[in-house]
Chain A
Amino acid sequence: MIAHPLRIAGDTNIGKVRAANEDTLILDPGLGLYAVLDGMGGANAGDVASQLASDTIREYVQHRALALTPCDLLEQAIIAGSAAVYSAAQIEADRHGMGTTVVACLVVDPSYIVVAHVGDSRAYLLRGGRLQPLTRDHTIVEELAGRGLLTPDEVERHPYKNVLSRNLGSRPDARVDVIEVEVRPGDRLLLCSDGLYGYASADAIQYVLGSGDAPEEVARDLIELALRGGGGDNVSTIVIEVPAAPASSTAAVRTAGAVAWWQHRQRFLEVAAESALARNPIVRGLSAKDAVDLVALSLCQAIYHDLEKSTGVNVWTFAQNLAAGWFERGGDWKPVRAIVDILGDCARAVLDEVRAADSQLGFLLEVAVSRALIVVELALGGLLAERLRQIDDDLVELHSATMDTLEDTLESEEVPEATAPALAPPGELLDNPTAPFERSEGPAPGDEAPPEVVGAIAKILTLARGRVAPRDALTGQILAALQAVVSDSDGNFTMAVLSARGLYGVRSVDPAGVAPLFDAFDQARVVVAACAQQQRAPIAVRVRALRALSTAHQRLASAVTGLVLEAVGPYHDRLREAQATTAELRSAVATAERTRAELERQFATVVDTRLPWGARGTSDW
C-alpha cells in the first residue's frame, strides 16, 4: 500500500507434534500487509484453507486499495478470504469444514496501523516494555466472558476454551473485528498463532519481544520459545518494529555512561568467555556461549538499564535470580562468590577501555559500576542472611528433638544402659544448649570406688551439712540428693532424675521461681569443695572423692535443668509458632517485595528508542 520505514520479520515452524504446517504468513511490504493465518481441518485441508484465504486477502488488498478506507479494505479483504474458503469447502467433500483464523495488519503510515482478526490468532503491542493484547480471541468462552457470564478463572478452566466461535470458512461471510492503532517510535507489534501463546508465557513473550534484538531474531526466538515450551502446535510470528526517534543532545549526554557501557559490552562478554565462568557449577549443563549469555550478558544488560534509570532494581533482580535458585538446589557459597568475582573482572575490563577513551566519563562510570556491584552484594547478603535465619530455626527444632530423645532415654526403664544412645564420645562434654552440663553415660560416681574414697565422700557431705545454716534448707536438700546420686550403684541417671524431681518440687508455682534452687546448687558446690580440702585423707583419695561429688553435682543440675526445660516446653512451642508465623510473614513480605520490584521494573522500563537495536528492552532472563 505504501512504502514505510518499519522493520518487519516473520517466521513459522511446524512444531514438534503436528504432521504438517497449516499456518500461512503474509509478509508484503509493498502493500503494507502482514498476516498470520492458522488453518484447520482434516486431510491437509487446514493448509489449503490458510493458503487460500491468504491469497484472497492479498489480492483483494492489492486491487481495492484505492477504493476503500484502510479499515474497510482490511475487513472486506478478510470477508473475501472467508468466502473463498467456504466456497472451496463446499466443492470438495474431503475439505468440508476446513477453515482458518487470521490476524492481519495494514500499515497505513509509520504511525498508523489497522489490525483486524477472526479466530484466536492474536496481535500484541509492546510499548514501554509492557506487552498489551490488541485482540480478544473469538472463542466460545471468551464470548461468554465478554458478556459477563464467565469469570477469568472459569475461562481458564473451561473445557471448551479453545473452541472457536468465529473463523474464516465456516460461513460465506465473516464477522471481523477491526481496530486502529496509533503507534509510537519504539513500539513493537506482534502477530502470532496460538502455537506461540499456548506454549509460552506472556512474561516470556514480553521479554523476548522487548529484548532489543533485531525483528528477525525476535521472530525466530519466539518460535524457539514455543518449541521449548512443548511445541504442540504449528507456530508463526510476525514482528513489526517502529523505528525510534533520534536522540536529543541533552538526553544523549544524560545517558552517556549507559551508552558507553553498552557500547563496550563486547569486551565484557569477551572477558567472560575467556574466564572460568562456563565451568562454574551454577551454569553446569549449559554451553559456554549459553553460560556467557545467561550470566554475563544479563548482568551487562541489568547494569545498562540501571545506569540509564539511576536505579539498582535490575542488578538486584539479576543477583537474586543468579543465587536464589542455586541456593534452593542446595548449592554453597563458593561458586556464587566465584561467578560474582568473574563478573567484577569483566566490568573492570570495560571500565579500563572507557577510561582510556574518556577519563572523566570513565571515572563516573567506574563509580556507578562499583555501586552496581555493591547492589549485587547487598542482594546476595539478603539471601545469605535469610538462609542463616532458616538454619537457626532448624537448629532450634533439632535441639528440641535432641532434648526429647534424651528425656525418653532417661525415663525408659526398658532401655539397658549398654544400649542407651551415645550422645557424645565418652568423657566429652556436650556443647548442646538443650542438655547443658551433660556428660555421657558412664559408671556411677561412687560405683566401685575403694572404701577409703566412699568414706571420704561420706565425711565431706557430713561436714558440708554441718556448715549449711539450718534455714538454708534448699542447700541441705541438695547435699542429701548428692549423697543419693553419688551412692547410686546403678550407674545411670535414674537417681539424679528422682532427686531432681524432689528438689524441683513446687518450683513451677513458687513465686521465687527456680533461681533460688540454682543459687543453692552453687552454694552446695562451694561448700563441698571447701570441705573436701579439709579432709585429712591422702590427696589422691580427696581428688577421687571430689571428682565423684562433682560428677554427681553435674548430673543433678543437669536433671533439674531438664525439668525446667520441660516446664517451659509449652512456651517454647508457642515461641516456635510465633517464629514460624514471623517466618511466614517475612516470606510474604519478601514475595511482596519481589512483586513490587518486578512491577517497578516493568513500569520503569522504557525502551530507549535512541539506542541501536539490540540495546533496548527489559533485562529479565
Chain B
Amino acid sequence: MARAYEVLRPRILQRLLELRTELDPSLGRLDEATAHAQITAVLDHLGNFIATGDLGLHRGFLHTFLAMRAAEAQSPGAVLAMLVAIGDTAAQVAQEAASGSGEADELTLLLTRVTATTARGVNDLIAEELRERSARRAELARHVREAQR
C-alpha cells in the first residue's frame, strides 16, 4: 500500500496545488511555496503512517502540525478542514486511478480511513488543549476571586 501511495503521490500533490483554493480556504490563502511545503509535509507523513501504522507517530505529527499552524494564526478548526481536504483529495485521486483494480481500491479505502483517523486525532488534540485552557481559566478565576476578597 505504501508503494502504491508513493506512486500516486506526485499526482496527489499536483491536484492539491491546482485546486487548493477550491478545496480549502486555509490552503487557498497560502502562497504557492508555503502551500507546497505544508502539503508536502502532510503527504510525507501520510506515506509514513501508511507504511508504519504507528498511531503514536501520527499523533506526534498532528500535534506539531497543529502547533505550527497555530503559530501562524490558523484556527484548529481550519487545520482540521485542511487535513481532511488533503486526505479527501488523496483518496479521490486514488479512486480515479483505481479502474477497478483491487490494490487501488484498497488504497482508496485506506486513505479514507487514514483521513478519518486524522480527523479523530486532531479533535482529540483540540479537546486536550481545550481541557488545559479550561483548567487555566478556572485557576485564573480563582486567583481573581481570592484577590478580590
Write the residues of chain A forming the contact surface with B, with a CB cutoff of 8 angstroms. 332-333, 337, 363, 366-367, 370-371, 373-374, 377-378, 380-382, 384-389, 391-392, 394-395, 398-399, 401-402, 405-406, 409, 421-423, 432
Which one of B3-11, B37-45, B132-140 contacts A?
B132-140
Complex contact A392–B127 (CB within 8 A)? no
Complex contact B133–A389 (CB within 8 A)? no
Contacts of A374 in B (CB 8 A): 84, 87-88, 112, 115-116, 119
With A337-B124, A384-B127 in contact, do A391 and B116 touch (Cβ < 8 Å)? Answer: no
Complex contact B144–A398 (CB within 8 A)? yes
Contacts A367-B95, A371-B112 aside, 13 further interface pairs with beta carbons under 8 A come to: A332-B131, A363-B109, A370-B116, A377-B84, A377-B116, A384-B127, A391-B130, A395-B133, A395-B136, A398-B140, A398-B141, A406-B147, A423-B143
With A385-B75, A385-B76, A388-B133 in contact, do A377 and B123 touch (Cβ < 8 Å)? Answer: yes
With A374-B84, A402-B140, A421-B146 in contact, do A337 and B119 touch (Cβ < 8 Å)? Answer: no
Q: How far apart are B69's CB and chain A's nearest CB, in angstroms?
A: 12
One of A370, A380, A391, A409 near B137 (C-beta < 8 A) = A391
Complex contact B131–A333 (CB within 8 A)? yes
Contacts of A392 in B (CB 8 A): 133
Complex contact A421–B112 (CB within 8 A)? no
Complex contact A370–B112 (CB within 8 A)? yes
Complex contact B127–A395 (CB within 8 A)? no
Complex contact A381–B146 (CB within 8 A)? no
Q: How far apart are B65's CB and chain A's nearest CB, in angstroms?
A: 14
What are 24 A-B pairs at a CB distance below 8 A? A333-B131, A337-B123, A337-B124, A366-B112, A367-B108, A367-B109, A367-B112, A370-B112, A371-B88, A374-B119, A377-B116, A377-B119, A377-B120, A378-B81, A378-B84, A380-B123, A381-B122, A385-B75, A391-B133, A391-B137, A392-B133, A402-B147, A409-B147, A423-B143
Complex contact B140–A399 (CB within 8 A)? yes
Query: Does B86 have its Cβ within 8 Å of any Cβ on chain A?
Result: no
Of A333, A374, A380, A409, chain B has the most CB atoms within 10 Å of the CB of A374
With A371-B112, A395-B137 in contact, do A388 and B76 touch (Cβ < 8 Å)? Answer: yes
Contacts of B91 in A (CB 8 A): 367
With A377-B80, A378-B81 in contact, do A333 and B137 touch (Cβ < 8 Å)? Answer: no
Complex contact B116–A388 (CB within 8 A)? no
Query: Total A-B pairs in contact (CB under 8 Å)?
Result: 107
Which chain B residue lies CB-closest to A401?
B144
| A385 to B119 Cα, complex, angstroms | 13
Complex contact A337–B127 (CB within 8 A)? yes
With A332-B131, A385-B77, A395-B137 in contact, do A366 and B123 touch (Cβ < 8 Å)? Answer: no
Complex contact B140–A388 (CB within 8 A)? no
Complex contact B126–A363 (CB within 8 A)? no
| A370 to B76 Cα, complex, angstroms | 22
| A373 to B88 Cα, complex, angstroms | 13
| A398 to B136 Cα, complex, angstroms | 10
One of B88, B126, B147, B149 near A381 (C-beta < 8 A) = B126
Which chain B residue lies CB-closest to A408?
B147
With A384-B76, A386-B77, A389-B75 in contact, do A373 and B144 touch (Cβ < 8 Å)? Answer: no
Contacts of B129 in A (CB 8 A): 388
Complex contact B119–A378 (CB within 8 A)? yes
Q: How far apart are A589's CB and chain B's nearest CB, in angstroms?
A: 13
Q: Which 6 A-B pairs have the closest CB atoms?
A: A385-B77, A377-B119, A333-B127, A421-B147, A405-B147, A398-B140
| A392 to B143 Cα, complex, angstroms | 17
Contacts of B140 in A (CB 8 A): 395, 398-399, 402, 432
| A422 to B143 Cα, complex, angstroms | 8
With A370-B112, A395-B137 in contact, do A384 and B144 touch (Cβ < 8 Å)? Answer: no
Write the residues of chain B forming the contact surface with A, with a CB cutoff of 8 angstroms. 75-78, 80-81, 84, 87-88, 91, 95, 105, 108-109, 112-113, 115-116, 119-120, 122-124, 126-127, 129-131, 133-134, 136-137, 140-141, 143-144, 146-149
| A392 to B75 Cα, complex, angstroms | 12
Complex contact A385–B109 (CB within 8 A)? no
| A560 to B31 Cα, complex, angstroms | 40
| A384 to B88 Cα, complex, angstroms | 21
| A295 to B115 Cα, complex, angstroms | 24
Contacts of B95 in A (CB 8 A): 367
Contacts of A422 in B (CB 8 A): 146
Complex contact B80–A378 (CB within 8 A)? yes
Of B87, B112, B115, chain A has the most CB atoms within 10 Å of the CB of B112
Q: How far apart are B122's CB and chain A's nearest CB, in angstroms?
A: 6
Q: How far apart are A417's CB and chain B's nearest CB, in angstroms?
A: 15
Which chain B residue lies CB-closest to A405?
B147
Q: How far apart are B94's CB and chain A's nearest CB, in angstroms?
A: 10
| A145 to B134 Cα, complex, angstroms | 52
Q: How far apart are A144's CB and chain B's nearest CB, in angstroms?
A: 50
Q: How far apart are B105's CB and chain A's nearest CB, in angstroms?
A: 6
With A377-B119, A378-B81 in contact, do A387 and B137 touch (Cβ < 8 Å)? Answer: no
Q: How far apart are B133's CB and chain A's nearest CB, in angstroms?
A: 5
Of A381, A386, A387, chain B has the most CB atoms within 10 Å of the CB of A381
Q: How far apart are B7's CB and chain A's nearest CB, in angstroms?
A: 20
Q: How far apart are B130's CB and chain A's nearest CB, in angstroms?
A: 5
Which chain A residue lies CB-closest to B139?
A398
Complex contact A370–B113 (CB within 8 A)? yes
| A183 to B126 Cα, complex, angstroms | 51
Complex contact A381–B80 (CB within 8 A)? yes
Complex contact B127–A366 (CB within 8 A)? no
Which chain A residue lies CB-closest to B77?
A385
Complex contact B80–A385 (CB within 8 A)? yes
With A370-B113, A378-B81, A378-B84 in contact, do A385 and B126 touch (Cβ < 8 Å)? Answer: yes
| A387 to B140 Cα, complex, angstroms | 18
| A381 to B112 Cα, complex, angstroms | 18
Which chain A residue lies CB-closest to B132?
A391
Which chain B residue lies CB-closest to A409?
B147
One of A337, A384, A402 near B130 (C-beta < 8 A) = A384
Which chain B residue lies CB-closest to A385?
B77
Q: How far apart are A274's CB and chain B's nearest CB, in angstroms?
A: 22
Contacts of B113 in A (CB 8 A): 370
Contacts of A386 in B (CB 8 A): 77
Contacts of B112 in A (CB 8 A): 366-367, 370-371, 374
With A402-B144, A421-B147 in contact, do A370 and B123 touch (Cβ < 8 Å)? Answer: no
One of B76, B126, B131, B144 near A405 (C-beta < 8 A) = B144
Which chain B residue lies CB-closest to A380?
B123
Which chain A residue lies CB-closest to B119?
A377
Q: How far apart are A345's CB and chain B's nearest CB, in angstroms?
A: 13
| A394 to B139 Cα, complex, angstroms | 12
Contacts of B147 in A (CB 8 A): 402, 405-406, 409, 421, 423
| A594 to B105 Cα, complex, angstroms | 35
Contacts of B88 in A (CB 8 A): 371, 374
